[in-house]
Amino acid sequence: MFQKQPMMRRVLYALAPITAFAIWLYGPRVLATLAVSLGVGVLVEYLFEKRRGGKVSEAVLVTGTLFALSMPPAAPLWIVAIGIAFAVFMAKEVYGGFGRNVFNPAIAGRLFVYISFAGALGGSFFEPGGFGAAAGSLFGRPDALSAATPLAMMRSGGSVPTIDLLLGARSGAIGESSVALIAAAAVYLIATKTAQWRLVLSTLLGGALVAVGLYVAGVARALPPESLLAGSFLFVAVFMATDPVSAPKKKPAQWAYGLLIGAAVIVIRSFSLFPEGTSFALLLGNTFASLFERVAADAAKRKAAKAAPATAGEAKP
């Protein structure tokens, strides 16, 4: 039923340790979220591809996993189902399926539910550790919880120990906590040429430059530089910004794309109503990707035309 896509499989391998760690943080409920996300995602894609006569791509498994990992740990499962259905349907299949979408589906779905159900999701964070001990029951929706995420704390002027940020012992979305595991996944993905290092590096660089710049300039609302480790910035830089379908391909365009995303994350985090800006930033980057690509291609074409007016006739028989 599935198309074989080795590249997507490698992303799944890279996500496996992160998922395992998330189960330790938040308990078996993570598996329920994941099951709903994957099940509904595959179902929606299957319904579409059946009509079109195509096969379900393995990419939908990546989309489903990434979407599940970007949900708050206690997110209601019906919201998860709506989000992933929106992601696969509106952000992927209506564009014509795999390889034709403009926006990253997982991010589009995540942003859709974050805006639509801001209250329900905003209160779905809880303290990590001990297989979701803080949630009380194992599977049931934990009541009376909601822990402030590090980003929210920093915004209100509080400080968060950097060591907690590094180890991942902080509340947040399911898969975004562990800096070490995400970094390891990045190394694996880049080493196997699944992810483009330029995209990861430029995104991180863009974020770091703006964050440090704002902090050093003493802007009132600037977050401390360690806020780069909080929220889903790293997760997005490694897994979403490198999505080959929605990212540009030319080298200069990739630099511009990453820098834009990184910079936009920090600007939105610092100055907007939302505590987290990664989803907006990524969709912004997706929007500009084809423009960057075009500018880069035109520049290359001008250069080629200037350098070699005679090649065209020579090279082709």
What is the maximal distance between C-alpha atoms in the chain?
A: 74
Check residue 291 for interaction with other proteins (CB under 8 A). Answer: no
Q: Which is nearer to other proteins, 158 or 193 (CB)?
A: 193
Q: Whose CA is closest to 69, among 152, 172, 142?
A: 172
Q: How far apart are CA 108 and CA 71, in angstroms?
A: 13
Q: Which is nearer to other proteins, 203 or 227 (CB)?
A: 203
Minimum CB–partner distance for residue 317 and other proteins (Å) = 6
Pick one of 57, 65, 177, 286: the residue that binds other proteins (CB under 8 A). Answer: 57
Check residue 304 for interaction with other proteins (CB under 8 A). Answer: yes
Minimum CB–partner distance for residue 6 and other proteins (Å) = 7
Are the C-beta atoms of 60 and 88 separated by less than 8 Å?
A: yes
Pick one of 1, 144, 273, 310: the residue that binds other proteins (CB under 8 A). Answer: 310
Q: Whose CA is closest to 61, among 116, 7, 121, 115?
A: 7
The residues in 15-54 that bind other proteins, with binding defined as CB under 8 A, are none
Tell me how long the chain is: 317
**Size of site (CB under 8 A) for other proteins:** 37
Q: Whose CA is closest to 269, among 130, 152, 140, 138?
A: 152
How many other CB atoms are there within 10 angstroms of residue 267's CB atom?
17
Q: Which is nearer to other proteins, 219 or 312 (CB)?
A: 312
Pick one of 138, 191, 219, 308: the residue that binds other proteins (CB under 8 A). Answer: 308
Q: Which is nearer to other proteins, 50 or 193 (CB)?
A: 193
Sign for the pseudo-dihedral over CA of 3, 95, 185, 147: negative
Residues that bind other proteins (CB under 8 A): 3-8, 57, 59, 98-99, 193, 196, 244-245, 247-251, 254, 293, 297, 300-301, 303-304, 307-317
